[in-house]
Structure 1
Amino acid sequence: MKIRSRATLVAAMAVGAMAAAPLASASAGYQSAGASPGPSNDARFATAGSVTPTYGARTIPHWSFTYTDPTNSQTYTATMVGSDPRQGGSTTVRTEIIPLEFTFVAAGQDMSAVSQLYGYDAKAQNWDADPTTGTPSDVDKTLASPIFHSNAYDPDLGGDTGQYGDVFMRAQFNKIGSSYHVRLSNDSVLPKQTFAVPASQGVAYQRVSGAVAGIVDYGWFSTKIQQLMGSLGIDATTVPIFLTHNVLLFQGHDNYTNCCVLGYHGAAKAVGNGTGPANGQGNNPVQTFMYAAYTTPNTYTGFSPTTSPRRGIADIHALSHEVAEWLDDPFVNNAVQPWQTPTAPQYGCTPVLETGDPVVGVWFPMAGNPDPAANNVWHPEDEVNANWFTRDGTTPLGLQSWDGRYTFMGPRTTAIPGGYAGFGHVATGC
């Protein structure tokens, strides 16, 4: 399997292709979130596969447009979920949540690097990470969250009402209050899938904040996801969401400080997984998918909209990131002129349209979370609008945001100290 990376300061990894792997032309990319200004052991996101579907291939509803970037006069094509907002229409995409339970064993793992990084005695421990336990469980909370339920958004976010992804798409393309929609409908929660994590592939430990997290090897985890997509027979028009309870990913054998990926989205040609023949003669179904960790509050310390506006890693933050990125780049093939995040240019250039990466951890509060540990507040992520990546090349097409802003939060984003004023204008090159 070929590894695909979105950042230049990233160590690539090789994921062994299994003889029974259900996905063809898949790839996995690990990057230290080119958008995340945090240190090692901080929140990151990744992609896992890139496919360009052939015309008529069985997959999710999507539309495409071509624009010219005015800053380099190059022409690019982008594909997004739903229908063309210039033509209107309402789209509903089906999802299925697949809970993943992981059991960890303390078996002499070397935690010295983690202890040295944080300055405390990190110890491996036996732990069961199950997103289906508790009242409500992580699965229940996800289904009750703004990802699937309609909420009213503050006036300075556009004042719209709807699901998180739907409101983001409507605000991004100046369709607030219109009949244009891109909604999710979760058809079912599949039976829980349980994995015993070998001591050589992962460890659970109490982080400095006091929260317990499990971390597993990226390649080992991704192979399990591939196998599940083959064995569960998920239709290519449905999007599987693999949900964990505070189980994150690290890269490199025993390299626990090269951590933590909280989610990824990807696409791959399905081969014999119940949605079509193994030999599709170039027109195999294309499966899109997501993984997200439902994150326990304070796994990443200190989220506050006033004292720490870049630390909103809790509850649905990871899933909101992946949903928005999937909406704007479902097949992970939307190339753009390479960009640098204004908050951390040292992370290098990224040549794909990934809406969440530049604002990892940036969030806005929404009431209604049943978890008192999260102050009864949801922590969805801010997102960067397409016009930032296209350098306003989409504006002549009528594909601009509702008030010209470049992020979902607009002035809330640009008011954050530390370089976020750079989101008051289009992306800069490398």
Structure 2
Amino acid sequence: MMSYQTTPIAAAPDVAHHEPRAPGIDLLRALAIVTVMLYHLGSHGVALPAWVEHGWMGVDLFFVLSGYLIGWQVLRTVAQGGAPRWGRFLLDRALRILPAYYAVLILYVLLGQGREGGNLQPLWKFVTFMLNLAPDWEHGTAYSHAWSLCVEEHFYWLFPLAVWLLAGRARKRASGRLVGALALAIVAGGMLLRGALWQWRVAPHLAGGDTAAAIGAYVVSLYDPTYARLDGLLLGVMLASVRAFRPAWWTRLLRHPRRLLAAGFLVLFCCMRIDALGPIGALVLFPLVALGCACLLAGALSPATRIGRRQLPGVRTLALLAFSLYLTHKQVYAWLDEWLPQALRAAPLAALPVYALVSLAAAALLYLAVERPELRLRVRMSIKTSARGSGSATPP
């Protein structure tokens, strides 16, 4: 069902400059990008196992990672009695996302009819990050995976407001409970909203036997919009809230990494059995996927496991290139579709290395030309901020 071409991978923020890289987070980033790339490859004539059709869950894993990393960097400042520097936060997020994102957008504009997905929707939707709120996939799916960046950008705008509303009373009272209650309320509200949208937009097409129209309505009304996709980000924020405001709970949680990892994989396996297009899927699928990803994240963060202590070979490289891979891999696939014969694409053992290596090369080029200079600029800005004697922690 979820083979619709607008399924992307979201851009997860990098670990803060002053913290060492967490091997478990890098592993999950690598897992997310590989999963989504395989999922997209399934629609390019490459024969892959059946489980790959559920690779859209990789984007939810990235949402959970984003919510946790952003939430931890901000909420720990509040927990310590400080005030986050929101101007610095928004500038940092802009420097992290916009240069590479707009560089690839320019490429899509220049490619014309050579771009993947055919027509490009009006530029204002991409520039203002409103693509997921006003999509028109019937008339153009080029650069459609930008919808997940829209969700993350909206989160960056809304999260400071939520923290500001809670922080005043949070310092003196139970901030963790407030954050958790707000997150749970939004998740429950999202479930009810998706249920209503399903009944209104999707059910009539299913009743009429028009599955294609039902899928289109599902993607536009339930899958893409920010208001329907906050579950993963909020589960990540809730984990960060526990770590920031209930460190004893956090310590006890990380003592059971194997149970957390097993629970995460079990929940995600069960999610594969839920019909995303049905009423139950509309209500509970996204929260359950987010819960499974949150369990994986908590388990991967524990130093009690090898993956939480030590980098696995090649993982760090994939994690560093994840954002560039996300931005470029669909266009690379489209080019390879023209260059590779159908016989090769039908042989996954031969086609996979070609698609993977060319995608990695394109991502490395974008990373070296755009991402790495931007990351160095952010490091210099952090050093200057520290030199001024700032007393509050810098957001991620």
TM-score (norm 1): 0.27
Greater helix fraction, Structure 1 or Structure 2: 2
Greater strand fraction, Structure 1 or Structure 2: 1
- Which structure has more RCO (C-alpha within 8 Å, separation ≥ 6)? 2
